[in-house]
Chains A and B, each alone.
Chain A
């Protein structure tokens, strides 16, 4: 399987360990997928900045990113809910011929044209389909499946109680995104359980982390207040760690816990959790950039591997 990895801004610049973990688990040593490195991507672009101030600019910049992958014959894989939602929304809006033409009118100035991915040719006619934008959780679940992931686990996480946080843009709005059941999502839970850990039930599971839409940037106290409700609910369910598919939620949980000083649950991206379970050396996963220390958690899991 071929994928073009869209790593976005937060992961490579703030949590590079997540990018390393994703490349390792998808790469030839574990799941055996082919990852293409595309170096012409720009910002996805971010929804709170671009989508809120000018929809057309947002669509054009997103279309530019899609033109970069349309000829590679690969699905675009995102590891961030923000990139996923922005690019997926764009890929779907570009199916509207009028909008697509308006965008192409601007893209012509930079020598690009959005057509989509070529699926087949009949005589002189070419048939295209929209560029497929995918999320790492759904790729792991649909393309590889729970069984293959279970078979790769070397360090089972038996007895670990994990609170799963999907993140809003993985699930909603459902008019565009129906990869998982928005009222009762299962994919991330099953991936977590494939490692041997237990996914705890808690009432605030589908709630927002509090950081989205620029709330974190503008009113950090409000963002933390929203996060606190969620954390309380996780703690009451007896969670020992948080697992999410979005680096911005990760950032918010990490930051809020340090500021609120109510708990210190380690926050892991699903790629990091799988990398740990597959037996990748925890010292190489860049946990030093998490604000809440992951050390005690790792030490309990792998007493022989982690020192100090």
Chain B
């Protein structure tokens, strides 16, 4: 990323206000000190440096973010070290909001939400684990109980009301 030359063509002057609208901080206050990059586990291992990414936000290079994978681990160490009180992890959350709305949602999210709609949780137990739970006298998992259907219906209603199924493109599938 550091080697590529940026041209003014991909510049989007609304990018910063869009980030703020989706709950990110005002990235214009970034001082470019680089504290965030020094503590970021992902910056350490990849060419994507937090400080550079925030600079790209300030310049409005929105398109570049669509080609960067969603790899912020959300550990918030950057926030702990930021003298300008920006939380870069929250900025990346806002950028993901924009990406989901403009470029569609990553498949793993749609699969995960599908699983949650069917089971209430993003994981299902194997038969072995189910047997172990019975043997140890653990509570049966809620999603194996007949009454749990109400909870699932409530989830589906929430998704419909907040427009989440439209954002994820779940409704087209039915």
The judgment on whether A and B are partners is yes
State the A residues within 8 Å of B (CB): 8-10, 12-14, 16-17, 19-20, 23, 37, 39-43, 45-57, 60-61, 64, 106-107, 109-110, 112, 168-169, 172-175, 182-183, 206-208, 210-215, 217-219, 222, 225-226, 229, 284, 286, 289
Main secondary structure of the interface of A (DSSP, over half): helix
A63 (CB) vs chain B CBs: closest residue: B158
Q: Which of A60, A175, A222 contacts B71 (CB 8 A)?
A: A222
Complex: how many Å from CA A206 to CA B121? Answer: 29
A-B contact pairs, 17 of them (CB 8 A): A12-B133, A13-B121, A13-B123, A14-B129, A17-B132, A40-B150, A42-B120, A49-B122, A54-B162, A57-B167, A61-B158, A169-B76, A173-B89, A213-B75, A218-B69, A218-B70, A218-B106
Complex: how many Å from CA A56 to CA B142? Answer: 25
A167 (CB) vs chain B CBs: closest residue: B75
Quick one: which of B45-95 are within 8 Å of A by CB?
45-46, 69-77, 79-80, 87, 89, 93
Looking at A23, A53, A206, A217, the one whose CB has the most chain B CB atoms below 10 A away is: A53
Contact yes or no, B70 A52, CB < 8 A: yes
Contact yes or no, A52 B136, CB < 8 A: no
Contact yes or no, B112 A46, CB < 8 A: yes
Main secondary structure of the interface of B (DSSP, over half): helix
A52 (CB) vs chain B CBs: closest residue: B96
Q: A53-B167, A106-B161, A110-B158 are in contact. Are A215 and B79 (CB under 8 A)?
A: no
Contact yes or no, A214 B159, CB < 8 A: no
Q: Which of B70, B121, B133 contacts A43 (CB 8 A)?
A: B121
Interface: B12 (CB within 8 A): no
